Amino acid sequence: MTTVMVVDDEAHIRELVRLYLEDEGMEVVEKANGEEAWQYYNNQTVDLVVLDIMMPRMDGWELCRRLREAGDKPILMITAKGEPMERIKGFQLGTDDYLVKPFEPMELVMRVKALLKRYRISISKIVKLGSVTLDQTSYQIRYKDSGLSETIPLKEFELLFTLASHPGKLFTRDALIERIWGYEYDGDSRTIDTHVKRLRERFYPYEHHFKIVTLRGLGYRLEVYSD
């Protein structure tokens, strides 16, 4: 069973989220502050975290940072503040999605389901992306229509595989650098732009049915679409 941890100091918010997620067959764990949530996360299995920002005893920013350092489990931030800089800070710390209070409970449910689906795709070694399949075990790209396969430069493959494993997820340049080049990389983060340009030259949206989208000032995300 999928376990979702809801972290919010407002009891009625926790109860509302719990009722709707339980209706979808999920198990919900409620925590009223960041310290309790962090302790629980380190001792139990949690599949996704719904996280408020303004809380006592460790706020949502710090908890988000710790959760992301601990792994890749999905994080959905909910907050009363919807200013662009708040969202940017959340994405920089590693949140996967953002929802502003007051919110429609069913919208939260749909976002949770989308994040869980995205995460399950991300832990696979094989990702289907439009008309191509990426195989991380052999680092090959297979083309559906022709049956052909090829290899591309390693960093380009890793960049594409990372984006494709989380369709729709925003990645900052710094996050991509850390994932692909490692924490000790001391080069220019604009190298990401160069690799994205090369991938766009290799894979045409109308032919392969996906594209890498630039979000100015934020980073990149990959979008998949049908014919």
Sign of CA dihedral 125, 92, 172, 95: positive
Contact 187/181 with Cβ under 8 angstroms?
yes
* Helix spans in 42-95 (H): 60-70, 84-93
Angle (deg, nearest 10), helices 191-202 and 173-180 = 80
Ordered structural domains, the chain, with CATH: 3-122 (3.40.50.2300), 126-224 (1.10.10.10)
What is the chain's pLDDT, residue by residue, as a tens digit (227 residues)? 799 999 999 999 999 999 999 999 999 999 999 999 999 999 898 999 999 998 888 999 999 999 988 888 999 999 877 677 878 888 888 899 989 888 999 999 999 999 998 888 777 788 888 888 998 888 899 887 666 788 899 999 999 999 998 888 899 888 898 889 886 777 777 889 999 999 999 998 888 889 999 988 889 999 987 65
Length of the chain: 227
Contact 178/162 with Cβ under 8 angstroms?
no
Contact 75/68 with Cβ under 8 angstroms?
yes
Q: Which helix (H) or strand (E) holds 165?
A: helix 154-165
On the question of a cis peptide bond just before residue 102, with omega within 30 degrees of 0, the verdict is yes
Name 83's Cβ contacts closer than 8 Å, sequence gap at least 6: none
Could you read off the pLDDT of 55-101 as tens digits, one per residue? 888 999 999 999 988 888 999 999 877 677 878 888 888 899 989 88
Contact 129/164 with Cβ under 8 angstroms?
yes
| pTM listed for this prediction | 0.62
> CB count, 10 Å around CB of 182?
8
Under DSSP, the state recorded for 225 is -
